[in-house]
Structure 1
Amino acid sequence: MAFLDHVLQAPAYGWKDVQGDLIKPSIRQILREFFSRLNVFSNRKNWLPFFSWFKVLCLVPFFILFLFKYMDPWMLLVGFMYSMVILGTHGTIWHHRYCTHGAYHFRNPFWRFFTQNLTISIIPEEIYAISHHVHHSKSDQPGDPYNAEAGFWYCFLADVNHQPIAKNLSEDDYCRVKALMKHTGVKANTYAQYQKWGSYVNPYRAVMSWILNWSFWYLAFYLVGGHALACTIFGSAGFWAIGVRTFNYEGHGKGKDKKREGVDHNQKDNSINQLWPGFVAGEWHNNHHLYPKSARSGFRPYQVDTAWYYIKFMSMIGAVKSYKDSKKDYYRQYHQPYLESKMKACAGSELTANRTDINKQINVS
């Protein structure tokens, strides 16, 4: 069995049936799986998905304080910019293009640490990166951890139900997980520790990193704008943490083929380029599926790519030593051939129309 076929912990309802077709569980099955995997009392190896959602719950009080005490037009604007643009862009920069795809390389560990902690820490690198490799290998196929064809809740709760690594990997397979994560700077468990905790990251290190990150950022925001600013930004982070879980369902056409001619050139899956995720986070998803290892996915002039702007700036100041930019390849392999095919089709239509007019004139005469 290929490594990516079993690196993730399969849900109780399975990935596919005996015919090889996608299993589409009911909402009840999905919720049962979700709560069973959050139960750290029945199995301590459930600690990482529990920890991930625990951090989201910790952001709820900040959101309530913002909503009922600190909200005004300016704070609303700040919260919108932080949640939609800053956190969204950081997710693309760090979790997506670096941790998963290694689309660029830092000059040294300092700049990696700086970029990692550029925002409030929310999503564990391990849950995102390993499962995203599987997503690209099996996009919109059985085994895709957030297959939109299985419905909204299948995607929304995927970080718990489908994305954690398997708890019974062999030592060789665990070494392959370590190889996929090594460049992120997240320190790995030994194989014995993995067998105990069921995760790549050690819980003590994860909790300490979380506490230090949140403490630093709350203090920084408090010094700038008091509790109002700090609660606004932490509350907006909670809003983003929930909202981002809807992206893969939307980004793959809600399980339907919604690709547009001349816009979405990748025909291998249902990924689509969307204006909103593109503008606020640099996530032009169909482009990304064409060139997953590219540090830029906004190839067209209108495709704003804030994540790419950060990576390019870091390259200019020497913090990023190398990156891959597939813009020229995109134009050469997809956009230009598309334009040429349209021109030929138009020329053919005009020629057909002219021939029709001549035949009409001949018949009349």
Structure 2
Amino acid sequence: MPFLDTVLRQPSYGWKDECGNLSKPSVLAIFKEFFSRLNIFKNKKNWLSFTSWMMIVCFVPFLMLFIFKYFSFKLLIVAFVYSMVVMGSHGTVWYHRYCTHRAFKFRNNIWRFITQNITLKIIPEEIYVISHHVHHAKSDQPGDPYNAQGGFLYCFLADVNHQPIAHNLNEKDYGRCVKLMKHTGQISNTYAQYQKWGTLANPLRTIGGILLNWGFWYLAFYLIGGHALACTLFGAAGFWAVGVRTFNYEGHGKGEDKRREGSDYNREDMSINQAWPGIVAGEWHNNHHLYPKSARSGFLPHQVDTAWYYIKFLNLIGGVTEYHDSKKQFLEKYHEPHKQAKSLAKEKTTVLTKETLIVTEQH
């Protein structure tokens, strides 16, 4: 079978039903799968999914401290900007455009390390990257790990239920996974270690990296604004970590065709451009699906792209040596023809209206 058909760990309810259509599990089946895959006592190979959600749990006390002890409107604004804009844009730059699509290249590992750790670390790269390749190959089809047609929970809990790599990969396919992750700087397990842990990532290195990242940023935030600022931003990061799990459900029309003429030019799937994710995180999703390897997805004047601004800034100061920018192709192939067709249709309508008025006046 093709590599992308088998690289992810299939849920117990399967990708397809007996007719070959998307298997749409019940709420009970989704939660049963979710808690089963978090159970590290049942299977230690569940450690990465468990760690991913334990990180969110760890952020809860910080959020509570912000709300009940340190709350102020000033800190609320800071929390909003950090969670929505900073964390959102970083997710687009690092996980989406670099780790998955290699839309740009860093000059060296130092710039890569800075970009990787410029915010609090929350999402393990492995969970995001491998599954996102499958998402683009099977978008809105059975096998898409966050197929919006499966419902909200199907997408929201996908990082546990659908996105981890399979536990039974052969050595060749495991090597392909390692290759997909190599440019991110991750030191992957050997095949023997993978057979023990079920992941590319090594538990000790992964958890150690998270603790170092969190320790550095708590100290930095504390030195800037004390425990109040540190708790605020840690709580904001936790809020983002939950919110980002809703994106693919919304970004693919909640399972319906919500594409708009003149806005969503990609017709191969149900992805749509949304103003909010676009403005705060540079995630113009339909544009991205049209040109996934582009370092910019905000192609039109109103499409603010903070992720692109960061990449372009690094390019100007020498941190990024090259990037793909598909704006010109987008304008020439899609936007300009649409504008011309719209203008021509308007002219025809005007002519027909004038001819109708002349005929009416004659009679």
Q: Counterpart in 2 of 1:257? A: 257
Distance 2:102 2:173 in 1: 20
Secondary structure, aligned partner of 2:322: strand
- TM-score between the two structures when normalised by the length of structure 2: 0.98
Q: Counterpart in 1 of 2:12? A: 12
Q: Please report how far the alpha carbon of residue 179 of structure 1 lies from its aligned counterpart in structure 2 after TM superposition.
A: 1.1
Q: Counterpart in 2 of 1:348? A: 348
Q: Counterpart in 1 of 2:21? A: 21
Distance 2:94 2:145 in 1: 20
Distance 1:213 1:219 in 2: 10
Distance 1:66 1:350 in 2: 59
Distance 2:97 2:246 in 1: 19
Q: Give, as a single letter, the amino acid of the residue that structure 2 aligns with 1:21.
A: N
Distance 1:228 1:33 in 2: 38
Distance 2:102 2:197 in 1: 27
Summarize the alignment of residues 1-365 of structure 1 with structure 2, pairs less than 5 Å apart: 1-361=1-361, 364=363
Distance 2:326 2:177 in 1: 27
Unpaired segments of 5 or more residues in structure 2?
none
Q: Write the deviation string for residues 183-217 of structure 1: whole angstroms up to 9, x where unpaired.
A: 00011110111111000110110011011000000
Secondary structure, aligned partner of 1:186: coil
Distance 1:78 1:352 in 2: 56
Q: Please report how far the alpha carbon of residue 356 of structure 1 lies from its aligned counterpart in structure 2 after TM superposition.
A: 3.0
Q: Please report how far the alpha carbon of residue 347 of structure 1 lies from its aligned counterpart in structure 2 after TM superposition.
A: 2.1
Root-mean-square deviation (CA), in Å? 0.9
Q: Please report how far the alpha carbon of residue 358 of structure 1 lies from its aligned counterpart in structure 2 after TM superposition.
A: 4.2
133-142 vs 338-347, which moves further: 338-347
Q: Please report how far the alpha carbon of residue 258 of structure 1 lies from its aligned counterpart in structure 2 after TM superposition.
A: 0.7
Q: Give, as a single letter, the amino acid of the residue that structure 2 aligns with 1:215.
A: G
Secondary structure, aligned partner of 1:321: strand
Q: Write the deviation string for residues 58-117 of structure 1: whole angstroms up to 9, x where unpaired.
A: 111111111100011111111111111100000000000000000000000010001000
Distance 1:257 1:352 in 2: 32
Unpaired segments of 5 or more residues in structure 1?
none
Q: Write the deviation string for residues 278-312 of structure 1: whole angstroms up to 9, x where unpaired.
A: 11100000110110000000011011100000000
Q: Give, as a single letter, the amino acid of the residue that structure 1 aligns with 2:245.
A: R
Distance 2:276 2:353 in 1: 40
Q: Give, as a single letter, the amino acid of the residue that structure 2 aligns with 1:23.
A: S
Q: Write the deviation string for residues 223-250 of structure 1: whole angstroms up to 9, x where unpaired.
A: 1111111001001111111111111111
Distance 1:256 1:155 in 2: 14
Q: Please report how far the alpha carbon of residue 361 of structure 1 lies from its aligned counterpart in structure 2 after TM superposition.
A: 4.8
Aligned length: 363
